[in-house]
Structure 1
């Protein structure tokens, strides 16, 4: 009897299964697929959230690094303008005043004017000729020095600053303050920055005679009675600079800014497979090698050329304001009357470099700004 009852109960189930088997399987499949898809969706949603969070963190880190780099870059430029450059230019000012002292010439001319019989006409003409040559030499060498030296020091400080930033980031991580570390060898750093005095201590000895030759070549046909206006003075100054820069090897002027090239020794050290020898290649050698490579580049040559052009224009603006109380460009004055102002203008360029309008003007040249931004970033400058 129990068997009959059980079989009677099973018949409806079997009948139900047979009747709805296909629907049940389809429903189960749909539900299973839906659950699987839901789990997949949930997994990929969480994964996408994690990825997005990582990207946001990386973006924030990148923004922080960019802000640190920008702040460090701007700080480096301030160091160049307010510390390194003023020191070098003050030293240079004193040397130019000493080496191109015109007082002995002016005193003899004044003496001859007060006592006519003390100097012959030939002696007076010779004194005036020397005064003319030395006055223009003084002005042009001051203009050239403040322009090229300011660019050179900025190259130095940007290269050194970039190394300091990279060394700090490697040592401490970009999230820490850069000022908290000093991973650059102090001795190498000071030795490297001290090269900015090379022009004053050694370069001037060879630079002054070279510029005197260029000045003499341009002014040899100029008489003291010739009328000079700012247009003529600009052309004369530009011609002197072009003759000086083009005389000799293409980069002869580099020898006035920094010591001779020892790049072959550095290259030999870099190319060795001996780790011990590679460690002997110190930071100073690397900094000097990188600096020379930048100064020899065509991009830096273009920056120098453009900066000198802007410097000449600025100098002419100053001269026009001082000559004849700012008279027109076409009026002009005799060269004999212009010579004392030319000599005076030379040293005015080197006074108070922190407030110097010339340095600010050169610094604001778009080509100069782009060049040093790329230099700091260690990117190609073309």
Structure 2
């Protein structure tokens, strides 16, 4: 017993120090273990988050490419074909040409004043049809891109929300499927409703530009290019700013989702047709869109003038031809603007413009982060 007391008295400091060191080491070990487990859990959480983000991006890209494919293979070709038929119907030049041909073969059937009147009408309608075809082709091509980007953002939200939902059965479409179809189908508004006023307004602009030009005046590449651009600029500057949007979409849209709200309450995070159309209108009336529209129109006119020069051959259009000789070629060239997309060099020209590509890249990025 005395030896234990002596041992304790002699070594108690060492015992306390050893116990403290052991206790501290054990505590540090436990703290390190807890910290390691928290780090492992955090790394696992971050890995899952990264995996989900990659999955969202992959699915978003797949959905975006799917909509792009639908618009390029179905929506835009259908709209272009329908519009081409309407323009050919509303700006039919065949009767004028037949009467002029008949008058040339049978000189006594038309008086000089009647011939001049027919030629003047052919001049106005030929340039009206060309300018309108250029504007409509360009607008349809750009408008369908606007639709794709807006729906791309909607699909991004839908995918992100469904992946983040603990109950996949509760997942629902952000945009009602019927509203999606109506939104994509709104590209036909121009052909169904906008054409009559568009033809009338484009014809007024054409008359304004061509009023001083005679049938014997010589036109070369430069003169033709300047004349078409003057018609387009006169048309675009007529009326209030962005008044041309009325040809592309109605003033007001009644959403299918909103209309059904009296039966089933509409979730707050559901986007209706009206909101989609409002976003599309906001894009069309933006200064940035106005800039790419101007660039695209000029590029299409450049391509068209080059095509007409090649059709004439021999450099005739470079040196110049009388306006009367140019008019039949204008009528013959207009249908090329509505060729199927695989062969349509005008649509390909628009797609290849760097400013246009940059605009839609930024537009998709902006709406995706909204």
TM-score by length of 2: 0.86
The aligned counterpart of 1:108 is: 99
Question: Hey, what's the Cα distance between the residues in 1 that align with 2:51 and 2:163?
Answer: 18
Q: How far 1:305 moved relative to its partner?
A: 1.8
Residue number among 168, 176, 181 corresponding to 1:190 in the alignment: 181
Q: Which of 340, 354, 373 in structure 1 is aligned with 2:328?
A: 340
Q: 1:328 to 1:58 in 2, by over 3 A?
A: farther
Report if aligned partners of 2:64, 2:148 keep a CA contact under 8 Å in 1.
no
Out of 347, 350, 361, the position equivalent to 1:359 is 347
Matched with 1:223 is 214
| Aligned residue number for residue 261 of structure 2 | none
Shift of the alpha carbon at 1:19? 3.6
Deviation sequence 1:192-232 (CA, Å, 0-9, x none): 33322211122110111111111122122222222222222
Asked if structure 2 preserves the Cα contact closer than 8 Å seen for 1:76 and 1:158, the reply is no
Q: Judge which range, 86-95 or 36-45, deviates more.
A: 36-45
| Offset of residue 65 of structure 1 | 0.8
Report the Cα offset of residue 146 of structure 1. 0.7
Flag the 1:329–1:134 CA change in 2: closer, same or farther, 3 A.
closer
Cα distance, 1:148 vs. partner? 0.4
User: 1:133 aligned to 124, 132, 135, which one?
Assistant: 124
**Structure 2 match to 1:200:** 191
Structure 1 residue 76: Cα displacement: 1.4
| In 1: Cα distance, 2:177 partner to 2:117 partner | 52
- 1:172 is displaced (CA, Å) by 6.4
1:142-193 per-position Cα deviation (integer Å, ceiling 9, x unaligned): 110011022222323432343345345535658999xx98674343333333
How far apart in 1 are the matches of 2:167 and 2:347? 34
Partner SS, residue 379 of structure 1: helix
Corresponding position of 2:136: 145
Structure 2: which 5+ runs fail to align?
259-263
SS at match of 1:39: helix
- The structural deviation recorded for 1:111 is 1.6
Q: Number of residue pairs matched?
A: 359
Give 1:316's match in structure 2, choosing from 293, 296, 305.
305
Compared with structure 1, are the counterparts of its residues 276 and 54 closer, same or farther at alpha carbon in structure 2 (3 Å cutoff)?
Answer: closer
* Deviation, structure 1 residue 340: 1.1
Structure 2 CA distance for partners of 1:176 and 1:45, relative to 1, 3 Å: same
User: Using the alignment, how far apart are the partners of 1:323 and 1:149 within structure 2?
Assistant: 29
Once residues 167 and 82 of structure 2 are traced to their aligned partners in structure 1, the CA distance between those partners, rounded to angstroms, is 37
Q: Which of 1 and 2 has greater Rg?
A: 1
Matched, 1:285 2:294: no
CA offset at residue 239 of structure 1? 1.2
Report if aligned partners of 1:168, 1:181 keep a CA contact under 8 Å in 2: no
